[in-house]
Structure 1
Amino acid sequence: MTDTTRNRLLTLFWLILAGAAAAAMAFSSIFLYLKPGLPSVESLRDIRLQTPLRVYSRDMQLIGEFGEKRRNPITMDETPEMFVKAVLAAEDAGFYSHNGVSIKGLMRAASQILQTGSIQSGGSTLTMQVARNFFLSREQRFLRKFNEILLSLQIERDLNKDDILELYINKIFLGNRAYGFQAAAHVYYGRDISELNLAQWAMMAGLPKAPSTFNPIANPTRALVRRNWILKRMLDLGYIGQDDYKNSITAPVTARYHGRDLDMNAPYIAEMARKEAVDLFGDAAYTDGYQVITSVDSKLQRAAREALQNGLETYDSRHGYRGPEQRLDPEMLEDSDHLVDLLNEIPVLGGLEPAVVTAVKPGRLQVQLRDRRVVEVLWEHGLDKLRPYMSENARGARLESAEEMFAPGDVIRLRRIEVKPDGAENVEIAEAADPEATGGQIQSADPFADPGEQDTPEIEPQVREEWHLAQVPKAQGALVSLNPDDGAIRALVGGYDFRQSHFNRVTQAGRQPGSNFKPFIYAAAIEKGYTAASIINDAPIIFEETNLQDVWRPENSSGKFLGPTRLRKGLYKSRNLVSIRLLQALGIDNALDYVENFGFERSKLVRNLTIALGSSALTPLEVARGYAAFANGGFRVEPYLVERVLDVNGETIYRALPLTVCRDCTEPGRESDRDGEPLREPMSLADARIEADAANRTEEPIELRTLPVNPVGDEQARPRAPRAMSAETSYIMDSILKDVIKKGTGRKALAMKRGDIAGKTGTTNGPRDAWFSGYSPHLATSTWVGFDSNAKLGVREYGGSAALPIWIDFMSTALEGLPERHLPQPDGIVTVRINPRTGLRTSSGGMFEIFREDHLPGRESYSSYRNRDTGEGDEEESDESLPEELF
């Protein structure tokens, strides 16, 4: 060896040594930098089981479940050996030979970064996955990866391999809220993991990589590919023989959901309750087993959802068919698996199933469903009446053939109808077949149950199904219904379908209520001394106000003017000019001061005369709270949703303490509400709000996981709701709002054949917003219809045509079987005969009107009596008053 060669080798040796030293120093520096922030591995030894947050209706129907679900941890001794081999084949075949970090895997990941410029895979071992799942986030950052490597080395030093694998088997997320393989075995197969076969173990082992992509319920095709790849890996690694491999790859996919169904589809309610629980308990709400009992009535909630969806679909059908949702390349029809995957990615909305047209035949469509079935849509099932949408005000001519609108590859919506024989009532059942309608969960009969333990099914008559063409509405809506005695939310639907949009229009959408707001202005007038017989001139008026920035010429929607008009008639006929002149006479500030009593925030109310026509942006919940005062005799209540919260042991740790109406108060100390609970003396609005807030909140640190139980019952009375208006004003307004139903813009509600309902329509310019808010003493309910984009609804759409039918549909169900109830006539109310033309008292003829005793109108003079027009028959006048516009 020459000196030159020796020197070169020596130099190379020192360079390698220096590089190794530099690498060691760099690694040590990183370790010293990151070590103080690393968690203790000892915490892994104390695994605490987690129970999800559950949300119930007041009648204990499950409507929501949030958080992790790890109820069945198992030990390595309980874990089948072949399943462990399936997991190792899928995730980390060298698990028992490395020290927590796979150099080969990391080099492969680094190579992918150099080739693509981005992170493709993390090269993670099972130990690294345990570190990430217990302590770290899933974000793809280099600092997180260094922490993961250091933690893995630390875990391998402190725990043995079986302990690490046991943690992995019990912790990993596997879709459908299942954490851990034992829980997942029950979710997907309804059995313990020890009872599954090789094909099922391989299917389960494929879930950790991508629980949604390789989910055998949501994506059976992709899950099958992943399962068979794992079986091939097991064969290559010598874990299974050729016969086991052949038998397993041909096994069918048998996974289906076996978890607990939601009892009711009320996602907007569930989401509101979830937020309140998180406000109370922080992130522990998802893991500590709290049960939230809401004020929602399951019967009313179902009726509300059906009424809103039906109402929006009815509105939508009046405006024509917009065509297929998508148009696929017809060549895609040849790939059945891809077609099924595509359909399964399209959510079912409002019970309307997505389907693909595979053939257009004379008088029918042939379509494929997402469950691979091919069905037909007959001409008489929605095609015969189909008219194309042209604009919100125009439709095209009816189709003469299906080919005019449809072609193979079109994605359309269908409604499934179950047709019963012998004239029995047909039932729409598409929603029942929709796994997302119950939170992505479909409960099926257990095929593994002992036949001797199963009930013998009753033999039912043969039924057949029909598939009708449908369309997901673009218009949106909202419905909220309150118990007027304490503000409890009995039903709430924030849109057509939660999967379409999580935006809750009941609580988040500020829209102009139009004439829905007029009753609050009229109540202010009656409180200030006006009467139902006061005469207001329904005549043109022009304003040149600087805060309106222009000349304003308000009109009635009919374009007609009635001249001198009684206040009662001005409201039930919804005369805009009457409302504006009335507000002008009251004074804007006086009116706003009074309207605040109903719970409206003054900062949200515009300060000009347009407020008389509902120009302020309000939510349906705010409007419903205001109408609750008309329903309960004049009291202000606060809407609330959560009645009670139970801990994991079923102990009550929170109870709402709502402001409550005392309907039958007589003597102090002997007052009670309708449920017999004592009620305190009336208090000011400010004091009532302070007391309720104090009772419903706690300053105790949330980490203690304890909250005071609000004292409700014999020991301490509920706080009494303060008055928003006097009993006399409430009684008079109730009478006028009933006339809206009897002879005004709400006449469609006469179909309910109830005498205790009242309310008011509302329509804004465009029209863009359609409202109906109304009540009986049992419930106060507001409905709204409009577009999120604030687009126009159509020239013939009003509160009475778009929103009122939804209200009628819901309230007909909600009030079914309940007796009529009417507000009791308070002292100080009298009934006298008046001339409807003048509003003055008269001795004969005319009509009867109710007044506050201290606000009686004057008598007609003798000369006017001799020459007057008595106005008899005025209440039977048939002049048509179209629903109002804003301005």
Structure 2
Amino acid sequence: MSEKARNRLLSLLWLALAGAAATAMAFASIYLYLKPGLPSVESLRDIRLQTPLRVYSRDLKLIGEFGEKRRNPIGIEQTPELFVKAILAAEDDGFYSHRGVSIKGLMRAVTQLLQSGSIQSGGSTLTMQVARNFFLSREQRFVRKFNEILLSLQIEQELSKDEILELYINKIFLGNRAYGFQAAAHVYYGRDISELNLAQWAMMAGLPKAPSTYNPLANPSRALVRRNWILRRMLELGYIDQADYKNSITAPVTARHHPRDLDMDAPYIAEMARKEAVELFGDSAYTDGYQVITTVDSRLQQAAQEALQRGLESYDGRHGYRGPEQRLNEELLQDSDQLVDLLNEIPILGGLEPAVVTAVEPKKLQVQLRDRRVVEVLWENGLESIRPFLSENARGPRLQSAEEMFAPGDVIRLRRVEIDPQAEIEVANSGDEGAATQGPDPFADPGEPGAPLEEPEVREEWHLAQVPAAQGTLVSLAPEDGAIRALVGGYDFRQSHFNRATQAARQPGSSFKPFIYAAAIERGYTAASMINDAPIIFEQANLQDVWRPENDGGDFLGPTRLRKALYRSRNMVSIRLLQALGIDSALSFVERFGFERSKLARNLTIALGSSALTPVEMARGYAAFANGGYRVEPYLVDKVLDVNGDAVYRALPLTVCRDCPEPGSEELQHEPLDLEEVQMEAAAIEPSEEPVDLRTLHVNPVYSESSEQARPRAPRVISPETTYIMDSMLKDVIKKGTGRKALVMKRGDIAGKTGTTNGPRDAWFSGYSPHLATSTWVGFDSNDELGKNEFGGSAALPIWIDFMTAALEGLPERHLPQPDGIVTVRINPNTGLRTSGGGMFEIFRADRVPGRESYRSISPVYSNDPDTSDESPRRERESLPEELF
């Protein structure tokens, strides 16, 4: 080699070394410049993937999910091996051999950049994608790429390959709000990743490259090309054999959108739980994977939802058909696509689907559904029974033809009804002895008499319906600790998010009376005490306002026993009783049930339930009658688990403990009233000197959260004797009073009270068995009148019966144990006094048994000795006829 050539080669060598040194220095400079701004790779070990908040029933049925990102993290050991190979074939087949960066991939990216003048691919490995997804942006800048390379090298030093792959599987965005392959499997296929087949795994593995471009929902053809390329790569790499490849490459695209399926529909419950989770954990509740376990029983919740919807639809049907929801123009009817879009914008409420009338005949309608199907509504499926709504108290005559009410373009509501032909056949044959006992001949040839028939298909019918204008609510508590077992805040959450169970403060009417009666029993009255049911007038001090309370029906019974006054719901007795007790004394007693005194009017109208209360507050009050006299607080969230399944919150509710000693029981003791004096006052009460506030009281809702102290005992608020007597009196409301419809349940352990306010505008029934305390309400959000023939017993009680029948199914009857201090005595029902023959039996506290009747006394006479004889000293008062009214 010549000297000149040698010098040239040496120069090139020095240039190469200088270039390498310069490159090394450049990379070192870049490293030193970027290193301080790089995040700690160690933080990946403690990374918290954004996982939505999920709400469950007590039996672990999913009822709600909140959060922008759908994610279901899984471990690498739960990920199918063949699916992992599909990912490697699609993204990085050298993953287990490189150190985080693929020089070959980067050189390919640089070559594409030089040839095209733009970035075609990034040459990223799976490790580099993890670095970008956790720490960096997706912007195409060289600085970001250098950061990505440096981070990848660090990640490979700190984490194992399986740990890196697990992060990738759970973090990557895959379209349709799905983050991670497990969530994507549920979005696109409705199943776990482990339940998919090879073709579906390959389809999923193609998503990370471009979730929008290779989305099998948005671009099924391009997604198919990408899937088949991945399958071919898997074959080339030896991950699958030729048979697997052929079977999978010919498989159709089966992906379709699967919205998050909830196990049960309880949106009011889900929303309440969401709010409580946010109060506990702030905005991180939506991202940290908390699981809220509520106290709700899924079976009872379903029964409550159905009972409320049926009850409101029944009320609505009694008041007539209000006509189509809207009427579309002729031009819109001709545009099928626009018509379908419009129907899909109208929500399905209470299972009632929107439809558009396309043709009208005298005895049927032709309608189009939101899925483009055209069906018929026959005359007998709701048309023949239509009576137009005129007002809450009046309906028009029945239609003679569908053309009187409907026209093409009308938007109406339909209910889908499934008809089982087999059930119809069984019903038809039930009266035919031969048909009922003779089965098909399995040996007969098809078509011959007696040959077995193919199972008939279930057919559907479409019945005319309408969304109720009235609203309602139902809340049911476990009496032992106040756990909410079922709660429905309205007809349909999609119609209104307003939760009437916790937010609608309405006047409870007569359903509030039992708390006043309990105060009287506690203070010395008995179920046999006589109070005068007679007219009374109250004038305010300025004589401008006069209150003339009346009984429903306008009649008066004269002297009436407390038991009868309660089950007959006599207003005059309640008012006289309250005046005799004293308003402040009665309010102090009522507070024990959990009612806030500031919400209760300080006048005699509270005896008639004039103070606005929420249904959940009423259910809490009645729970004390159901559990033997203890106050509990309603609560919904039982516990909260973190993303790892560890409990981070547990409710500690007030809980009944019957075997525990009664601390503070002295608080329940009262100085007995002078019963002779107060009953004389109640028999002929004078007008109140205190002005009566006739205004309706509206208050804000109250929802009590469970205590965070050590699990406390529920405090006793009424004595066992008073509770037992009140339970007996409230059972009579059902046996012989305003709640008689509940006799259809054929249970002896149910009790409660109806409530109806002026108008009427509010209809209530609050009641219980020892298993559940349940309150129902029906009314209009606008406070309109329900109709003159609507009462608590007609509008609210049927909902209570429907729900409680389902809720108590299979549960044995339970009754409160009789306290030692209770005795049964025969009395004269007309005087409330003891009698030696005839009459009826009544229960009393042993120290409050009435004396024996005399010809001169009709007022109760009390003795502390239950065995008082006729010769024993007694206090008597002669009653004059004019005192009766």
Alpha carbons 1:131, 1:152 under 8 Å: kept: no
Alignment of 1:642-721 (within 5 A): 642-663=637-658, 665=659, 682=663, 696-697=707-708, 718-721=711-714
Say yes or no: does 1:795 pair with 2:795: no
Residue aligned with 2:376, SS: strand
Alpha carbons 1:206, 1:230 under 8 Å: kept: no
In the TM superposition, what is the alpha-carbon distance from 1:683 to its structure 2 partner? Answer: 5.3
Task: Name 2:63's counterpart in structure 1.
Answer: 63
Q: In the aligned structure 1, how far is the partner of 2:38 from the partner of 2:664?
A: 54
In the TM superposition, what is the alpha-carbon distance from 1:348 to its structure 2 partner? Answer: 1.2
When residues 773 and 696 of structure 1 are mapped into structure 2, their CA distance, relative to the original with a 3 A threshold, is closer
Task: Name 1:520's counterpart in structure 2.
Answer: 515
Say yes or no: does 1:477 pair with 2:486: no
Residue aligned with 1:466, SS: strand
Alpha carbons 2:471, 2:780 under 8 Å: kept: yes
Alpha carbons 2:534, 2:557 under 8 Å: kept: yes
Task: Name 1:531's counterpart in structure 2.
Answer: 526
Deviations 1:631-685 (A, max 9, x none): 111111111122222232333333322222234x2xxxxxxxxxxxxx5754589
Alpha carbons 1:185, 1:193 under 8 Å: kept: no
Deviations 1:467-506 (A, max 9, x none): 1111111111111111111111111111111111111111
Residue aligned with 2:423, SS: coil
Say yes or no: does 1:722 pair with 2:715: yes
Q: In the aligned structure 2, how far is the partner of 1:535 from the partner of 1:95?
A: 101
Alpha carbons 1:769, 1:786 under 8 Å: kept: yes
Alpha carbons 1:761, 1:772 under 8 Å: kept: yes
Q: In the aligned structure 1, how far is the partner of 2:372 from the partner of 2:204?
A: 23
Alpha carbons 1:418, 1:426 under 8 Å: kept: no
Instruction: Give TM-score, length-normalised by structure 2.
Output: 0.69
When residues 201 and 797 of structure 1 are mapped into structure 2, their CA distance, relative to the original with a 3 A threshold, is farther
Say yes or no: does 1:294 pair with 2:268: no
When residues 152 and 728 of structure 1 are mapped into structure 2, their CA distance, relative to the original with a 3 A threshold, is farther
Q: In the aligned structure 2, how far is the partner of 1:791 from the partner of 1:685?
A: 46
When residues 532 and 49 of structure 1 are mapped into structure 2, their CA distance, relative to the original with a 3 A threshold, is same
1:846 to 824, 839, 852: 839
In the TM superposition, what is the alpha-carbon distance from 1:857 to its structure 2 partner? Answer: 2.0
Select between 477-486 and 842-851 the one with higher mean Cα deviation.
842-851
Task: Name 1:421's counterpart in structure 2.
Answer: 421
Task: Name 2:606's counterpart in structure 1.
Answer: 611
In the TM superposition, what is the alpha-carbon distance from 1:50 to its structure 2 partner? Answer: 2.8
Residue aligned with 1:589, SS: helix
Residue aligned with 1:423, SS: helix
Alpha carbons 2:86, 2:201 under 8 Å: kept: no
Say yes or no: does 1:637 pair with 2:632: yes
Identity %: 72
Deviations 1:799-858 (A, max 9, x none): 000000000001111111211111111111112222222222222222221111222223
Residue aligned with 1:765, SS: coil
1:158 to 143, 147, 167: 147
Q: In the aligned structure 1, how far is the partner of 2:418 from the partner of 2:531?
A: 56
When residues 783 and 546 of structure 1 are mapped into structure 2, their CA distance, relative to the original with a 3 A threshold, is farther
Alpha carbons 1:685, 1:722 under 8 Å: kept: no
When residues 534 and 327 of structure 1 are mapped into structure 2, their CA distance, relative to the original with a 3 A threshold, is same
Select between 793-802 and 820-829 the one with higher mean Cα deviation.
820-829
When residues 196 and 860 of structure 1 are mapped into structure 2, their CA distance, relative to the original with a 3 A threshold, is closer
Alpha carbons 2:507, 2:613 under 8 Å: kept: yes
Alpha carbons 1:50, 1:71 under 8 Å: kept: no
Select between 63-72 and 616-625 the one with higher mean Cα deviation.
63-72
Give the aligned CA root-mean-square deviation in angstroms.
4.5
Q: In the aligned structure 1, how far is the partner of 2:346 from the partner of 2:210?
A: 24
Alignment of 1:183-582 (within 5 A): 183-184=183-184, 186-189=186-189, 195=199, 255-258=255-258, 261-423=261-423, 461-545=456-540, 550-582=545-577
Deviations 1:722-747 (A, max 9, x none): 11111111111111111111111111
Alpha carbons 1:131, 1:151 under 8 Å: kept: no
Task: Name 2:622's counterpart in structure 1.
Answer: 627
In the TM superposition, what is the alpha-carbon distance from 1:134 to its structure 2 partner? Answer: 9.0
Letter in 2 for 1:188: Y
In the TM superposition, what is the alpha-carbon distance from 1:396 to its structure 2 partner? Answer: 1.3
Deviations 1:164-217 (A, max 9, x none): xx9999565844x523687446412467899469999999999879xxxx999x
Q: In the aligned structure 2, how far is the partner of 1:298 from the partner of 1:829?
A: 39
Letter in 2 for 1:628: A
Letter in 2 for 1:70: R
Alpha carbons 1:277, 1:285 under 8 Å: kept: yes
Alpha carbons 1:627, 1:773 under 8 Å: kept: yes
Q: In the aligned structure 1, how far is the partner of 2:378 from the partner of 2:397?
A: 19
When residues 97 and 635 of structure 1 are mapped into structure 2, their CA distance, relative to the original with a 3 A threshold, is farther
Letter in 2 for 1:375: V
When residues 337 and 152 of structure 1 are mapped into structure 2, their CA distance, relative to the original with a 3 A threshold, is farther
Letter in 1 for 2:619: A
Residue aligned with 1:315, SS: helix
1:732 to 708, 725, 732: 725
Deviations 1:283-305 (A, max 9, x none): 23223332222221121111111
Task: Name 1:780's counterpart in structure 2.
Answer: 773
Q: In the aligned structure 2, how far is the partner of 1:182 from the partner of 1:76?
A: 16
Deviations 1:742-775 (A, max 9, x none): 1111111111111111100001111111000011
Q: In the aligned structure 2, how far is the partner of 1:789 from the partner of 1:515?
A: 21
In the TM superposition, what is the alpha-carbon distance from 1:156 to its structure 2 partner? Answer: 5.9
Say yes or no: does 1:766 pair with 2:759: yes
Residue aligned with 2:503, SS: coil
Letter in 1 for 2:372: R
Residue aligned with 2:501, SS: coil
When residues 200 and 150 of structure 1 are mapped into structure 2, their CA distance, relative to the original with a 3 A threshold, is closer
Q: In the aligned structure 2, how far is the partner of 1:407 from the partner of 1:206?
A: 50
Alpha carbons 1:170, 1:182 under 8 Å: kept: no
When residues 156 and 488 of structure 1 are mapped into structure 2, their CA distance, relative to the original with a 3 A threshold, is same
Q: In the aligned structure 1, how far is the partner of 2:412 from the partner of 2:208?
A: 34
Deviations 1:245-301 (A, max 9, x none): xxxxxx999653446622211111122222222222222322333222222112111
Q: In the aligned structure 1, how far is the partner of 2:174 from the partner of 2:524?
A: 67
Alpha carbons 1:53, 1:288 under 8 Å: kept: yes
In the TM superposition, what is the alpha-carbon distance from 1:420 to its structure 2 partner? Answer: 0.9
Letter in 2 for 1:279: E
Letter in 2 for 1:809: D
1:825 to 792, 795, 818: 818
Residue aligned with 1:730, SS: helix
Q: In the aligned structure 2, how far is the partner of 1:320 from the partner of 1:861?
A: 57
Task: Name 1:714's counterpart in structure 2.
Answer: none
Residue aligned with 1:416, SS: strand
Select between 275-284 and 512-521 the one with higher mean Cα deviation.
275-284
Letter in 1 for 2:51: T
Alignment of 1:98-177 (within 5 A): 155=144, 158-159=147-148, 174-175=175-176
Q: In the aligned structure 2, how far is the partner of 1:559 from the partner of 1:311?
A: 28
Task: Name 1:78's counterpart in structure 2.
Answer: 87
Q: In the aligned structure 2, how far is the partner of 1:314 from the partner of 1:95?
A: 73
Residue aligned with 1:598, SS: coil
In the TM superposition, what is the alpha-carbon distance from 1:511 to its structure 2 partner? Answer: 0.7
Instruction: Give TM-score, length-normalised by structure 1.
Output: 0.69
- Give ranges in structure 1 of 5+ residues lacking alignment: 1-37, 83-93, 104-129, 137-147, 217-222, 232-250, 428-457, 666-678, 687-692, 699-709, 711-717, 866-887
Q: In the aligned structure 2, how far is the partner of 1:169 from the partner of 1:314?
A: 50
Residue aligned with 1:480, SS: strand
Q: In the aligned structure 2, how far is the partner of 1:96 from the partner of 1:603?
A: 79
